[in-house]
Amino acid sequence: MSNSKRAIKAEDFTKLEVFSDPRFSPDGSTYSYVSTTINDKKEYESHLFFQHVNDSEAQQWTFGDVKNSNPRFSPDGKQVVFQSNRSGLPQLWILHTDGGEARQLTTFKNGAGKPNWSKDGKHIIFSASLEADDDVHSQKEQSKEERQKEAEEKKKQPLIINRLKYKSDANGFHSNKRSQLVLFDMEKETFTQLTSDDTDHGYLDISPDGNLVLFAGNLNKDADYELISDLFLLNRTTKDITKLTNGEGAYHNASFSPNGDKIASFGHEYVYDGATLNELYIFDVKTKERTCLSEEWDIQLGDAMIGDIKLGQSTTGPIWAKDEKHLFFIATDFGATGLYQVTLDSDLKLLYKDDNHVFGFSYDPGAETFILGINTPTNPCNFYQLNSESELKRLTNANATFLDEVSIAEPETLTVTADDGWEIQGWLLRPYGFEEGKKYPFVLEVHGGPHAMYGQAFFHEMQLLAAKGYVVLYTNPRGSHGYGQQFVDAVRSDYGGKDFTDLMSAVDYVLENYSFIDENRLGVTGGSYGGFMTNWIVGHTNRFKAAVTQRSISNWLSFYGVSDIGYFFTKWELGKHLMEDPEKLWNFSPLKYAENVETPLLILHGEKDFRCPIEQGEQLFVTLKHLRKNVEFVRFPDASHELSRSGKPEMRIERLNHIGRWFEKYL
């Protein structure tokens, strides 16, 4: 098959423009969004754009080698507050929509972010990282030199730890600072600290009358031992805080109805621990009565799609309709995400869903229209307007030049019947320049999570492997989102069981049905849970001739104590923690089966991965090397668990090149 377009390359993700966070202006005639790119310095930068819904071109609002995000229109549409690191740290800035330079609002020592307007436009509420004795009235941003000096001094001091939750993959080692809510008075230009408890406060919304601030957090004395996230109402006048929820679950994405008498929220009560599907709840503000609208549904609310070009956050709902009788939200179902509507009587209606990934939306109550952010398997992102007649109009043409010159493989959707009759969804990519009659090597990709989902979305790593001449298969074995509560829960306490046979059934299926796959040249790779599964596969079968395990779990016994989530995730997923049944944890550990490994194995791991710490890769490497197995270990400096998605671009390229090198050598 001839192809006039070139094959995709490892570094091509640096040429992509990635969109996020569409936001209608108050009158609905325009919208803003964030565009993230990688500049010539191989660093991420993000900028604010503004577009009239009737125009074909967007206007860029911010410039420079900086990161701008979280744009929020004032209620009158005349100003936009946003977050930017142009001064050195993330701070709040304000920009007039009719032009002019941005003005800095905050100079907090540790930065400020996630701004939102009060409904009357008189105040801006934001989050700031503060210590117990910090004064919001005298905050001063440090210079670059002052920050560097403080960081150097900190390195000389021992780290004293007295909390269970003392580190996270996202933020490293935690300090004594807490995320507090602060209010900025636009007229007086003064700051008021709204919260002060020794916990992190996540701002969600403010009531239409401006008196009640809705936030999420855990104010319990045992919060360090809990994974609870309750909803709270803070009275701005009295400073009284009222708990809205029952202290048994995790609630998020909550918002007031237009008249302020109700609150809608996603959440769940850990019925299936970390595999529990989100529910949609309505709370009565006065009576605190809770109603579940999603009790009869069997879909995951929100976006569970996994990918390697997702940068920036976008709204997934729930969002109130102007009549207060409907709510809108994104949900994950059968390899795709779509936009849904529900009444307060739980009448669910699909507004838009196709073979793609709806990653965010904005609602205009005036015209009853939506801006949808859509990512497809062959197009990284664009924005579309969905009108009240369900007609879709494309607004942007992102990455057009790139897509014109590069060949993108179209995935073929598969349904595989597992050995016990369960149906497993997957996708197959044919190699670049595919020719009938030829035999091609094959790579199986296994996603992380495990409670996540591959699907109808652009995935650079998959496209790269196809471009290098491999048939690529990626599937959603049980444990994945998108197929209901029983399916996503089925992997728990069965790691390496039916999930393993699901994957092998998928490999068997494609070998039987696609004659162009060379059964003697099979490879496998995956990260996180996918890394665990890669390790498990090579310890339980020798059918693969090459394997690459990434940011993996190899030993559940040590994972319990070294991972930022190990002390609870281990029991969530395996049914027991270290002190309860160490033998069970060892039986689930790929390291136990190291003597069985005959497949050449490449281990890729970030040195600052706190989710699956690098000692997991070290143990596997040392054991296999000691057994004189064919193994190689690549350590990525300063790389966290997010290496493949938002890590340093140069390290991301190195990682892809190592994967390509290993498969080229052995397949």
Q: Which residues are catalytic?
A: 528, 641
Q: Which two tokens stand for residue 292?
A: 């579940």
**Angle CA(228)–CA(232)–CA(236) in degrees, nearest 5?**
150
User: Which residues lie closer than 8 Å to 529 by C-beta, 6 or more apart?
Assistant: 446, 447, 448, 449, 450, 479, 553
With beta carbons less than 8 A apart as the criterion, state whether 61 and 95 touch: yes
Question: Strands 631-636 and 601-606: what pairing?
Answer: parallel
DSSP secondary structure of 491-556: TTT-TTTHHHHHHHHHHHHHHHH-TTEEEEEEEEEEETHHHHHHHHHHHH----SEEEEES----H
User: Which residues lie closer than 8 Å to 29 by C-beta, 6 or more apart?
Assistant: 52, 53, 54
| Distance, CA of 149 to CA of 506 (rounded, Å) | 55
Residue carrying the six token digits 């994972």? 559
| Distance, CA of 326 to CA of 506 (rounded, Å) | 41
| Distance, CA of 230 to CA of 224 (rounded, Å) | 14
Question: Residue 179 belongs to what H/E stretch?
Answer: strand 178-185
Half-sphere exposure of 460 (CA within 13 A, CB side): 26
Partnered with residue 326 across adjacent β-strands are 343
Report the SS3 class of residue 562.
Answer: helix
| Distance, CA of 644 to CA of 391 (rounded, Å) | 36
Identify the DSSP state of 316.
Answer: -
User: Which residues lie closer than 8 Å to 279 by C-beta, 6 or more apart?
Assistant: 266, 267, 268, 292, 293, 294, 295, 301
* Cβ neighbourhood burial of 18 (10 Å; 0-12, 13-18, 19+): buried
With beta carbons less than 8 A apart as the criterion, state whether 368 and 388 touch: yes
In angstroms, the Cα distances linking 201 to 19, 83, 177, 466, 478 are: 27, 18, 12, 45, 35
With beta carbons less than 8 A apart as the criterion, state whether 312 and 20 touch: yes
Question: Residue 509 belongs to what H/E stretch?
Answer: helix 498-513
User: Which residues lie closer than 8 Å to 483 by C-beta, 6 or more apart?
Assistant: 334, 425, 476
Residue 457 phi/psi, 5-degree rounding, is -145, 155
Residue type, 414: L
Q: Which two tokens stand for residue 190?
A: 């003064």
Per the rule left: phi > 0, alpha: psi between -120 and 50, beta: everything else, 77 is left
Q: Which two tokens stand for residue 367?
A: 């015209």
In angstroms, the Cα distances linking 533 to 50, 277, 429, 444 are: 44, 23, 21, 11
Question: Strands 279-284 and 471-475: what pairing?
Answer: unpaired
With beta carbons less than 8 A apart as the criterion, state whether 61 and 47 touch: yes
Residue 181 phi/psi, 5-degree rounding, is -95, 135
